[in-house]
Amino acid sequence: MSEEVVHRSRAGRSEYGAQPVRVLPMFPGAENHPSLLALARRQRGVLQRRQLDALDLTRGHVSAQLAARRWSAIGHKVVVLQNTPLQRDQLLWAALLDAEGLVALGSHTALELAGFTPSAREAQEIHIVVARGAKVSKFAGVRVHESRRLRPEDVTRRGGLPCTGVERSAIDAAAWQPFPRFACLMLAAVVQRRLTSAAGLEAELRTVGRVRHKAYMRLALIDIADGAQSIGELDLATLCRRFGLVPPNRQVIRRDATGRRRYLDAEWELPSGEIVVLEVDGSHHLDAANWQADMKRERSVVVSRRWVLRATTFEVRLEPAVIARDLRALGVPFLSARLES
């Protein structure tokens, strides 16, 4: 086996005349085959057996590399040019190359490659989408979703890896959530990170047929298009519809007494000219630093002659009648009253 020679000084820097340190190639068994090495670099050392055949590597040669434990066999169709455990990006390639027919990364995994930051739990699991009935090997940490509507035009490439588009990935991720509220939050989060728009998601939703939480997602997209960015704001939109209140202006930008830009969760302009503000606080607002910042922001808003109410996401979700009563007490009108005027 040939070896790559690297000259290094004692400090670790390259230097002519220094004693050579021999470093093994990244992909053993590929150093004398330029085409194999180039493909291995593109696919992180993960190749299909038929790709090896196309490179004129005999099955005897492949078997010899496997027997010598320089390479590893993964699944039914894949060979990895190493004998160490796979890294996560290599597992992506292995799951895709081993699957039969049209295949793509989907859901949270495709969104992650598009720039979405998943939770720790979501980042651990790899999602792939295959055609209905396709043969797929089982890999630990890989969840396979069969689809009757996976088409070539649904697949794009990110970093060389086939993925479903952002809109389909987001709707799949939402539909695979166990609860409708989390499904709606998934759509809001994707729009908030500017990976797509509410209009793009709504257009995709019209093409998906029957999927779980579809009715909830359709309503949520109306609110997301109006500026709702969190689960608390989506719950507030549901509250307004339920009790017939005029929907608020969301994420309104106001400047405080110092000229700093402030974002308000919800704001109503009353017929009297006064303004009612409702700030919906999630659990992170209970942190001492956030709590102090919220109080400073509230003071700056009050100084600007606005009525400010505070509510937790739990109150909006579990006690909507109380929140609706308080909003009405400050003059927030019914929707029918605005339509009549």
Select the more confidently predicted residue: 241 or 228: 241
**Number of domains within the chain:** 3
pLDDT class for 20, splitting at 50, 70, 90? very low
The pLDDT assigned to 57 comes to 92
My answer on whether 69 and 120 are in the same domain is no
Select the more confidently predicted residue: 227 or 167: 167
My answer on whether 60 and 120 are in the same domain is no
The answer on pLDDT for 240 being more than 50 is: yes
213 in a domain, yes or no? no
Where residue 129 falls (left for φ over 0; alpha for ψ -120 to 50; beta otherwise) is: beta
215 in a domain, yes or no? no
Q: Which long-range contacts (CB under 8 A, 24 or more apart) does 17-25 make?
A: none
147 in a domain, yes or no? yes
The answer on pLDDT for 290 being more than 60 is: no
- The residue among 148, 165, 182 that closes a domain is 165
My answer on whether 247 and 292 are in the same domain is yes
My answer on whether 318 and 281 are in the same domain is yes
The answer on pLDDT for 13 being more than 80 is: no
67 in a domain, yes or no? yes
- The residue among 149, 165, 181 that closes a domain is 165
The pLDDT assigned to 15 comes to 37
My answer on whether 72 and 124 are in the same domain is no
271 in a domain, yes or no? yes
The answer on pLDDT for 98 being more than 60 is: yes
The pLDDT assigned to 256 comes to 52
My answer on whether 79 and 124 are in the same domain is no
Question: In whole angstroms, how far apart are CA 270 and each of 4, 26, 215, 238, 278?
Answer: 75, 68, 31, 20, 13
The pLDDT assigned to 292 comes to 46
My answer on whether 47 and 125 are in the same domain is no
Answering whether pTM is above 0.85, one says no
Domain around 301: 242-340
The answer on pLDDT for 24 being more than 50 is: no
- The residue among 119, 138, 165 that closes a domain is 165
The pLDDT assigned to 197 comes to 92
The pLDDT assigned to 245 comes to 92
202 in a domain, yes or no? no
Tokens read off for 57: 């590597």
My answer on whether 250 and 328 are in the same domain is yes
Q: Are 81 and 47 in contact (CB under 8 A)?
A: yes
Dist. CA 25–CA 82, nearest whole Å: 11
User: Mean pLDDT, the chain, as a whole number?
Assistant: 80
Tell me which residue of 141, 167, 142, 144 sits closest to 154, measured CA to CA. Answer: 167
227 in a domain, yes or no? no
* 301-317 residue pLDDT tens: 444 567 888 887 767 77
Tokens read off for 146: 């069969």
The answer on pLDDT for 17 being more than 50 is: no
Beta bridge partners of 79: 47, 73
